[in-house]
A = this chain, B = another copy of it.
Amino acid sequence: MSTMAQTGRLIGVGTGPGDPELLTLKAVRALAEADVVAHFAKRKANGNARAIVAGHMKPGVTELPLHYPVTTEISKNHDDYKAQILAFYEESAERVAAHLAAGRTVAVLSEGDPLFYGSYMHLHVRLAHRFPTEVIPGVTAMSGCWSTTGQPIVQGDDILTVLPGTLPEEELARRISGADAVVIMKVGRNLPKIRRALESAGKIGRAIYVERGTMAESVSMPLAAKSDDQAPYFSLILVAGWLGRPGSVSASGAVL
Interface positions of A (Cβ within 8 A of B): 12, 14, 16-17, 19-26, 28-29, 86, 113-117, 121, 124-126, 128, 133, 135-140, 143-144, 146-148, 150-164, 166-167, 175, 214, 242, 245-248
A153 touches B24 (CB 8 A): no
Q: How many copies does the complex hold?
A: 2
Identify 28 residue pairs between A and B in the complex whose beta-carbon atoms are under 8 Å apart, listed by A's number. Answer: A14-B139, A16-B24, A20-B25, A22-B26, A22-B137, A23-B24, A24-B24, A24-B25, A24-B139, A113-B143, A113-B147, A115-B151, A116-B146, A121-B152, A121-B245, A125-B245, A126-B246, A135-B147, A137-B146, A137-B147, A137-B214, A140-B140, A154-B162, A156-B164, A157-B166, A159-B164, A160-B160, A162-B162
Q: For the complex, what is the distance from the CA of A109 to the CA of B200, rounded to whole Å?
A: 39
Nearest-CB distance from A121 to chain B (Å)? Answer: 4
Nearest-CB distance from A169 to chain B (Å)? Answer: 13
Q: For the complex, what is the distance from the CA of A229 to the CA of B56, rounded to whole Å?
A: 45
Q: Which residue of B lies closest to A145 (CB)?
A: B137
Q: For the complex, what is the distance from the CA of A21 to the CA of B23, rounded to whole Å?
A: 10
Nearest-CB distance from A170 to chain B (Å)? Answer: 14
Which of B22, B125, B151, B160 is A161 in contact with, Cβ under 8 Å? B160
Q: Which residue of B lies closest to A129 (CB)?
A: B247
- B residues near A247, Cβ cutoff 8 Å: 125-126
- B residues near A157, Cβ cutoff 8 Å: 164, 166-167
A116 touches B159 (CB 8 A): no
Q: Which residue of B lies closest to A90 (CB)?
A: B246
- B residues near A152, Cβ cutoff 8 Å: 115, 121, 124-125
- B residues near A139, Cβ cutoff 8 Å: 14, 24, 113, 137-139
B155 touches A117 (CB 8 A): yes
Nearest-CB distance from A83 to chain B (Å)? Answer: 13
Nearest-CB distance from A25 to chain B (Å)? Answer: 5
Nearest-CB distance from A190 to chain B (Å)? Answer: 11
- B residues near A160, Cβ cutoff 8 Å: 116, 160-162
Q: Given A21-B26, A159-B175 in contact, is the A143-B146 Cβ separation under 8 Å?
A: no
Q: Given A22-B25, A144-B137 in contact, is the A150-B164 Cβ separation under 8 Å?
A: no
Nearest-CB distance from A233 to chain B (Å)? Answer: 14
